[in-house]
Amino acid sequence: MTTVAFQGEHGAYSEEAIRQHFGAEVQTLPCRTFEEIFTAVEEGRADFGVLPVENAVAGSINKAYDLLLEHDLRVSGEIYLSVRHHLMAPKGTRMEDIRRVRSHPQALAQCEDYLARHGWHPEPWYDTAGSAKDLAADPQPGVAALASRLAAEIYGLEILDSDVQDLPWNITRFFVIGHQEAPLSPHSKTSLVFAVPHRPGALNRCLDEFARRGLNLTKLESRPRRNRPWQYVFYLDFEGHWQDPVCQEALVGLLSRAAFVKLLGSYPAAQEQTADETAS
């Protein structure tokens, strides 16, 4: 059976993403940190890891991208998950009983208007699924949690209200990482990281290798190089697989112009969700 590592407790949104991608029968391995996901795959305790890299509301997850640069695992897939927060509490709790709501600070922020309308006090917790797990283990009067539907099922909590996030397009993008490389597919995407020489026009010349071949860039973002102060690397996604002839030409051109290039992987492009789809 395939084992997939993720960060968080059972019932985390990352585990929902795993089930969405691999199916409900997949075996999952909870990890305390992002670093432990990479270690679990590198040591063979997991076949793959699933790593959140970007959120439509909050932007890129910098720690994830730093680890992709530091490790040699390949990106072999991507997942778009519509993050839907649910209000849950021990069975028998009524909405009018609630006084405090626990969850990860980011989840609380994403439901800030909802909580304010009801006059509930937000109570930061270490993890969304962890807030559900701990509440189920130690029920307290007037306390509810914000977490996934999967967390409610796992820990036996009752969902009192659904889809309570303030914005309907709260979508998180995940990478599937492992030792394997994804095969060539008709609708692929490629992720890489590169640095440029410190001279005028260097970045423009690198990007021109894609533009003049008609390759569409879907992401371009700079990050500080952790081992070299005031120097930067660029994370780039483009449509196509590195084995496509035109993509190979662009990559050879990039190699001739960049200070260094690291190919993170080519993978089947996931279907991006729109605000209308997430609200339906």
Q: Is 172 a catalytic residue?
A: yes
* Cross-strand partners of 145: 88, 102
Q: Considering the candidates 22, 34, 38, 174, report the single residue annotated as catalytic.
A: 174
Cα end-to-end distance, the chain, whole Å: 34
Q: How far is CA 216 from CA 74, 207, 208, 236, in A?
A: 22, 11, 11, 11
Query: Using an 8 Å Cβ cutoff, are 266 and 188 in contact?
Result: yes
Q: Give 3-state DSSP helix, strand, coil % of the chain, rounded to 5.
A: 30, 30, 35
CB-count burial class (<10 Å; 0-12, 13-18, 19+) for 105: exposed
Kindly provide the b/e burial profile for residues 184-217, where b requires at least 16 CB atoms within 10 angstroms of the residue's own CB: eeeebbbbbbbbbeeeeeebebbbebbeeeebee
Q: Considering the candidates 28, 93, 128, 172, report the single residue annotated as catalytic.
A: 172
* Cross-strand partners of 79: 174
Q: In sequence order, what are the residues at sequence separation of 6 or more whose Cβ sits closer than 8 angstroms to the Cβ of residue 144?
A: 87, 88, 89, 93, 98, 100, 101, 102, 120, 135, 160
Catalytic residue set: 172, 174
